[in-house]
C-alpha cells in the first residue's frame, strides 16, 4: 500500500487556503480526499492498462492530478533533471499526449522521448496515480514553499 500522506497534507493546506498561490488553492477545491485515497490505491494496484470504473474515484484522481501539476511548481527547490523525466512522462501519458521522436543529436529531447516511450502504453489513470506518487516523493525530498 503506497502512502501519499505528504501529498494529502499539501492538498489539505491548499484547500484551507493556508498557503500557496490562488491558482493552486483553486485547483485543490472540491477534491474529496477519501475518494482520492481510494482511487489512488486502486490505480496503483491495478494493471498497467486497467481503468477505475467508479466515477467519483475517477473524478477525484483526475482532479488530484490536475492539482499536482500546479502544486509541483511550489516545491522549495526544483527537482533534478532525472526526477523531472518521471514527471514529464507521466504528465504526457495522463494527458493523452504523444511525444515526437527527436532528431539524432538532440540528447535532452531524446531522454524525454525515451522516458515517455517506456510508459506510453499505460492507462491515463495509472499515469495520473504515478504522477501523484512521484510528486509525493518530491514533497518529502524538497518540501513546499508558502506563498
CATH number of the domain where residue 25 is located? 1.20.80.10
Cell 483526475 belongs to 62
Question: Which has more pLDDT, 53 or 19?
Answer: 53
Residue 123 in domain: yes
Q: Is the pLDDT of residue 1 over 80?
A: no
What is the rounded CA–CA span in Å between residue 15 and residue 13? 5
Residue 29 in domain: yes
Residue 56 in domain: yes
User: What is the extent of the structural domain holding 131?
Assistant: 5-142
Residue 147 in domain: no
Residue 109 in domain: yes
Residue 135 in domain: yes
Structural domain count, the chain? 1
What is the rounded CA–CA span in Å between residue 50 and residue 124? 9
Query: What average pLDDT does the segment 26-49 reach?
Result: 94
Query: What average pLDDT does the segment 117-132 reach?
Result: 96
Residue 49 in domain: yes
Query: What average pLDDT does the segment 121-133 reach?
Result: 97
Lowest mean pLDDT among 17-21, 118-122, 143-147: 143-147
1, three cell numbers: 500500500
Residue 74 in domain: yes
Amino acid at each position: 500500500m503506497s502512502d501519499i500522506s505528504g501529498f494529502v497534507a499539501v492538498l489539505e493546506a491548499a484547500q484551507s487556503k493556508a498557503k500557496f498561490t490562488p491558482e493552486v488553492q483553486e485547483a485543490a477545491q472540491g477534491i474529496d480526499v477519501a475518494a482520492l485515497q481510494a482511487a489512488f490505491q486502486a490505480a496503483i494496484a491495478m494493471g498497467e492498462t486497467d481503468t477505475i470504473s467508479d466515477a467519483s474515484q475517477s473524478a477525484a484522481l483526475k482532479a488530484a492530478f490536475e492539482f499536482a501539476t500546479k502544486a509541483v511548481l511550489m516545491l522549495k527547490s526544483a527537482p533534478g533533471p532525472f526526477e523531472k523525466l518521471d514527471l514529464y512522462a507521466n504528465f504526457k501519458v495522463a494527458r493523452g499526449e504523444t511525444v515526437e521522436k527527436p532528431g539524432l543529436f538532440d540528447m535532452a529531447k531524446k531522454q524525454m522521448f525515451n522516458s515517455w516511450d517506456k510508459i506510453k502504453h499505460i492507462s491515463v489513470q495509472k499515469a495520473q496515480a504515478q504522477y501523484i506518487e512521484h510528486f509525493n516523493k518530491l514533497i518529502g525530498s524538497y518540501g513546499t514553499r508558502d506563498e
